[in-house]
A and B are shown apart, each in its own frame.
Chain A
């Protein structure tokens, strides 16, 4: 056994390296494409690229004998090609001729062939890498447990490596390193007779990687992204650039870059020039300028000044305070204590290191306490003194976000989050939130619905006595107060509106005609919507074209406004060709799902045509078993990531914790599975154990995490290991057991099974997101439970069918 393992050793290491390389490349590519375009586009490209796994299974199923006969030199060659292609892929895609822009897809049809070329460019490294892995699995089916362990462990390590590299290298420097890992994997797997070639290839790959790392070049950012537009301005330049795990942080300076969101039309002074901060090319805030003793501030001439109209607030909590301008505005009002929640530590590092001359007085202010965690985790702390004011930054982007954030979880804008804020308010405390006005209205309506929903749940009083809103030409600021608004406060608000040319939108004693004195609307429907939401008219919210129900922790997608049921209505109202301009983000995710489902279907069906004659029966069982495993595993992974983002308060920690724990524990399960015989009993029991554990997730995961959210980090890590690790251990057994079972049954179906598993895994990524958006996390986990129950039963059912048929044939 020991000797046998020794012969496996270089191959196992080679497999681990290849797996690490693929995951590191995938994560980096996501980052690169998110910077160059935006994250939905990254999903769109990656989903097709990852189907390389499905395609490799198809090819293996079609040409298994030919490929395995040449495995000795072909596997290393494929790994080497994969690695070299990884080094080149992004460089090739950014050349002028292949440069694609997702924003132009629906206005410039010449983008479609370029998109197809991009798919091919990114598909190749995944396909060749996955083909090498698949071949190793098929050749070593008996020892699949060890190989799968190596694959999972390598993938986990690759993910961690990528996250580590994000801190120290620019994203375009990482693909050469990932590629180098793949080339090394190829060299390790080469037979001794290719020794000279080993050395030559290794040296050449190292040189190439060093060259590409030394000359990383630039990332071709879409001309429609915030940073590209800022850089079009006169004398614009990037004055700071730093890679970070939260993304690439860049600061742009130009004498024409100003900041004054929805400035009052009564303002006659100068609009201040500000350096703008971008994360992955998207606007993230401005470098705040503040001098001790400063009293005036440009935001005092916007609706965002509304909470200060009520008077002084001593204890202030600013949530998601990366928008430094609001933070500097707070200090012009002399608060005694300010807690600022800035999850992205990189932005504060930038302000401290590079822009201290502008921001030092603010960042070093003795009354300012900065916290690098998510707001929900901060609010869950047990030792908090009540706040007089809780501020949220201006929501949405100017003119809307085209649904860009539709599938981005946001735990700060759920009803539970506002409930938590409400409980942390002092007796006269206020929550203030502002949003850009969008057309047709949805963001502002959803904010109001959330505020009213929160009040209804947490207070016996009439919400209309506690909610005030003020509207300018561009923004609306909502304010909810724990005690009713006084007459004096309302008089101050009216005076504020009069001076600034704003209009009160909601106020306890609002009179008809007050709402549009300065800023008239084309009709009164918006006011009608507002009034119906104030009455929490569920029938109205149900029938409104867009999703304006409050977001909840189980579906924390505040920016998801599309209702699939209203597609036809929207197309009729606005024209089908205009639909992409409405909520492009959601549409892209749908396209992603459809295209990956279609390709996956092709990859699964193609080998079937060949297997039809040659292979034994049981093909349906193979599809169901390996398909269910692909879906179940990914569904759990995606939901755990989303859940643990809230638990750890840092997306980076959550992703690393979930992915690495799942993969490593699954790997351990896979290794142990080698000691089990792939009998129907073992497979069924194992599947039912997993399904049982996931059922506990469905029932208790939320409450387990909620009870321990305020626990020390060490305790939380231990809890995470238990919650994520134990089911993962059993999940890890299922694939190798299935492969060994199938190998004993019909070896020709093994590569096909590998392809099915890969294809379903990819499809399930976007499918999980869509189910989560529409039906919530619990539903996704419930589907995962069904998948594992199905996987546990499918072979038994198949055996029963065969037995029944045999009996019938015997009788006949």
Chain B
């Protein structure tokens, strides 16, 4: 009897493991589809960015109840009024800062940690700040387990991270009504800051802030990122 029961439990475990493997394969396939259709299809060409998007398991950065939607072409709620951005936005924001391995990048608004993970795949040092403690702590566990080059701080992103400044690029993931002056100051001359304008439940516009040699600041509105038509549909 015990033998049969053990066999049955083993059988169930085997099924669960197989299911997990199958599901992991599914996620990998979904991730590749996501990169091909949503990201390459919309014109992202930077190879490092594409590779990073293929590598980072997005489904691990969304709440369990949202996992099946992880690779869909939309933002997802992660609690506390925050969202994990649409995959294309993450890719676009990564590409636009022209990422290289020997850079130092600051991210404001860690959220789920997904954007930081994508950056950490490419860049040497990624510093990320989250103001909402529970989100920051969850992200810290996930990021620090996977990436030794990702550093999470829980605090007010307004002040930036002065001891590691200046930064080659700053990625602001949460839209803000103003751009904190300390962040402009901590951006290297020639550096780039990318910031979404608009609420996550609206059509967002990305804005690139450039600090020129001599300190003059200019901005460039980029395409409305949320609703860019697929290139293949054109």
List chain A positions with a Cβ less than 8 A from chain B: 103-104, 107-108, 110, 223-225, 228-229, 232-234, 255-256, 258, 260-263, 265-271, 397-400, 402, 437-440, 473-474, 501, 517-522, 573-575, 577-578, 581-582, 584
Contacts of B77 in A (CB 8 A): 104, 107-108
Nearest chain A CB to B207 CB, angstrom units: 6
Which of the residues B201, B205, B217 comes within 8 Å of A224, measured between beta carbons? B201
Interface-central residue, A255, A271, A573, by most chain B CB under 10 Å:
A271
Contacts of A520 in B (CB 8 A): 218-221
Distance in Å: Cβ of B189 to nearest Cβ of chain A: 14
Contact B221 A522 (CB under 8 A): yes
B81, A229: Cβ atoms closer than 8 Å: yes
Would you give 14 A-B contacts (Cβ < 8 Å), ordered by A? A234-B156, A256-B156, A265-B179, A265-B209, A267-B181, A399-B197, A399-B199, A400-B199, A402-B199, A437-B197, A520-B221, A522-B223, A574-B203, A578-B227
Interface string of B52-89 (1 = CB under 8 A from A): 00000000000001100000001111011100000000
Q: Which residues of A contact B47 (CB under 8 A)?
A: none
- Distance (Å) between the CB of A239 and the closest chain B CB? 19
Pairwise interchain contact B180-A518, C-beta atoms closer than 8 A? no
Of all A-B residue pairs in the complex, the 8 with the closest CB atoms, nearest first, are A399-B198, A399-B199, A263-B178, A260-B178, A223-B81, A265-B217, A574-B227, A520-B220
CB pair A271 B178 closer than 8 Å: yes
Q: Is the CB of A261 within 8 A of B202?
A: no
Q: Are B178 and A262 within 8 A (Cβ)?
A: yes
The answer on a CB contact under 8 Å between B158 and A439 is no
Closest A-chain residue to B155, C-beta based? A234
Query: B76 to nearest A CB, angstroms?
Result: 6
Question: Which residue of chain B has its CB nearest to the CB of A104?
Answer: B77
Cα-based distance from A491 to B199 in the complex (angstroms): 36
Cα A522 to Cα B207 with chains together (Å): 10
**Contact check: which of B65, B180, B197, B219 meets A271 at CB < 8 Å?**
B180
Question: Given that A267-B181, A268-B185, A573-B227 are contacting pairs, would A501 and B218 also be in contact in the complex, using a CB cutoff of 8 Å?
Answer: yes
Residues of chain B within 8 A (CB-CB) of A398 are 175, 177, 198-199
A256 to B177 Cα, complex, angstroms = 13
Q: In the bound complex, what is the Cα–Cα distance between A399 and B229 (angstroms)?
A: 21
> Hey, which chain B residues are within 8 Å of A270, CB to CB?
181
**A261 adjacent to B198 (CB under 8 Å):** no
Residue of A nearest to B66 (CB): A108
Give A265 to B80 CA distance when docked, in angstroms.
29
Q: Please, what's the 1-or-0 string for B183-203, where 1 marks a CB less than 8 Å from any CB in chain A? A: 011000000000001110111
Among B133, B198, B201, contact of A103 (Cβ-Cβ < 8 Å): B201
- Are A473 and B207 in contact (CB-based, < 8 A)? yes
Distance between Cα atoms of A489 and B198 in the complex (Å): 33
Nearest neighbor of A228 in chain B, beta-carbon distance: B81
Residues of A within 8 A of B74 (CB): 107, 577
* Distance between Cα atoms of A779 and B103 in the complex (Å): 63
Known: A234-B131, A262-B177, A398-B199. A271 touches B158 (CB 8 A): yes
Q: Are A519 and B202 neighbours in the complex by a CB distance under 8 Å?
A: no
State whether A232 touches B81 (Cβ < 8 A). Answer: yes
In the assembly, what is the distance between CA of A574 and CA of B225, in Å? 11
Q: Taking CB as reference atom, which chain A residue is nearest B181?
A: A268
Tell me if A438 and B181 are in contact (CB < 8 A).
no
Q: Which residues of B contact A438 (CB under 8 A)?
A: 198, 202
Contact in complex: A474, B177 (CB < 8 Å): yes
Q: Check B226 for interface membership: any CB of A closer than 8 A.
A: yes
A399 touches B204 (CB 8 A): yes
A48 to chain B, nearest CB (A): 23
Interface of A is mostly: loop
Asked if B18 is at the interface of the complex by the 8 Å CB criterion, the answer is no
Q: Of all chain A residues, which has the CB nearest B193?
A: A265
A107 near B179: Cβ-Cβ < 8 Å = no
The answer to the question of B7 belonging to the interface, with a C-beta cut-off of 8 Å to chain A, is: no
Cβ-closest chain B residue relative to A526? B221
Least CB distance, B40 to chain A, in whole angstroms = 18
- B81 & A440 in contact (Cβ 8 Å cutoff): no
Contact B198 A439 (CB under 8 A): yes
Contacts of B222 in A (CB 8 A): 522
Closest B residue to A398 by CB, please name it: B177
Question: Which residue on chain A has the smallest CB distance to residue B156?
Answer: A256
Residue B122 at the A interface, CB < 8 A?
A: no
Output the nearest chain A residue to B184 by Cβ-Cβ distance. A265
Q: How far is the CB of A607 from chain B (nearest CB, A)?
A: 42
A439 to chain B, nearest CB (A): 4
Q: Which residue of B lies closest to A475 (CB)?
A: B177
Chain B contacts for A110, CB-based, 8 A: 65
Task: Name the residue among A263, A439, A584 with the largest chain B CB count within 10 angstroms.
Answer: A439
Q: How far is the CB of A488 from chain B (nearest CB, A)?
A: 26
Further pairs besides A271-B178, A398-B175, A521-B220: 18, Cβ < 8 Å: A107-B76, A224-B201, A232-B80, A232-B132, A234-B156, A261-B177, A262-B178, A265-B184, A265-B219, A271-B158, A399-B199, A400-B198, A473-B221, A501-B216, A522-B220, A522-B223, A581-B227, A584-B201
Instruction: Report the minimum CB–CB distance from A338 to chain B (whole Å).
Output: 25
B224 within 8 A of A: yes
Instruction: Enumerate chain A residues within 8 angstroms of B175, measured Cβ to Cβ.
Output: 398-399
Q: Are B203 and A440 in contact (CB under 8 A)?
A: yes
In angstroms, how far is the closest chain B Cβ from the Cβ of A257?
10
Please tell me which one of the listed residues B66, B79, B202 contacts residue A399 in the complex, with CB atoms under 8 A apart: B202
Question: What is the CA–CA distance of A584 and B202 in the complex, to the nearest angstrom?
Answer: 9
CB <8 Å contact, B203 and A581 = yes
In the complex, what residues of B have CB within 8 A of residue A258's CB? 158, 178
Residues of B within 8 A of A262 (CB): 177-178
Q: Complex: how many Å from CA A395 to CA B205?
A: 18
**In the complex, what residues of A have CB within 8 A of residue B202's CB?**
399-400, 402, 438-439, 581-582
Partner of A256 from the list B65, B158, B209, B217 (CB cut-off 8 Å) is B158
A746 CA to B171 CA, complexed, in Å: 73
CB-CB under 8 A for A224 and B81, given A263-B178, A398-B199: yes
CB neighbours (8 Å) of B185 from chain A are 268
Provided the pairs A258-B158, A520-B220 are in contact, do residues A263 and B179 lie with their beta carbons within 8 angstroms?
yes
Cα A270 to Cα B181 in complex, Å, equals 7
A688 to chain B, nearest CB (A): 50
Q: Are A501 and B204 in contact (CB under 8 A)?
A: no
* Given contact pairs A260-B178, A474-B177, A581 touches B201 in the complex (Cβ within 8 A): yes
Complex CA gap A437/B219 in Å reads: 14
Bound Cα distance from A518 to B81, whole angstroms: 33
Q: A258-B178, A519-B219 are in contact. Are A578 and B79 (CB under 8 A)?
A: no
* Most-contacted residue by chain A among B132, B177, B220 (CB, 10 A): B177
A575 touches B227 (CB 8 A): yes
**Measured between C-beta atoms, what is the minimum distance from B220 to chain A in Å?**
4
Q: Are A519 and B218 in contact (CB under 8 A)?
A: yes
A266 partner residues in chain B, CB cutoff 8 A: 217
Which residue of chain A lies nearest to B185 when distances are taken between CB atoms in the complex?
A268
- Residues of A within 8 Å of B216, CB to CB, are 501
Once the chains are docked, how many angstroms separate the CA of A256 from the CA of B76? 25
Closest B-chain residue to A575, C-beta based?
B227
Contact, CB under 8 Å: B81 / A107: no
Which one, A225, A261, A439, A518, contacts B203 given CB within 8 A? Answer: A439
Bound-state Cα–Cα, A263 to B198, Å: 15
- Report the bound CA distance from A575 to B81 in whole Å: 25
Using CB atoms, name the residue of chain A closest to B80: A232
Q: Which of B156, B179, B203 contacts A582 (CB 8 A)?
A: B203
A574 and B226 CA atoms in complex are apart in Å by: 9
Q: Is A260 in contact with B177, judged by CB distance below 8 angstroms? A: yes
Shortest B111–chain A CB gap in Å is 12
Asked if B201 contacts A501 (CB within 8 A), the reply is no
Complex Cα distance, B209 from A400, in Å, reads 21
- For the complex, give the distance between the alpha carbons of A581 and B89 in Å: 16
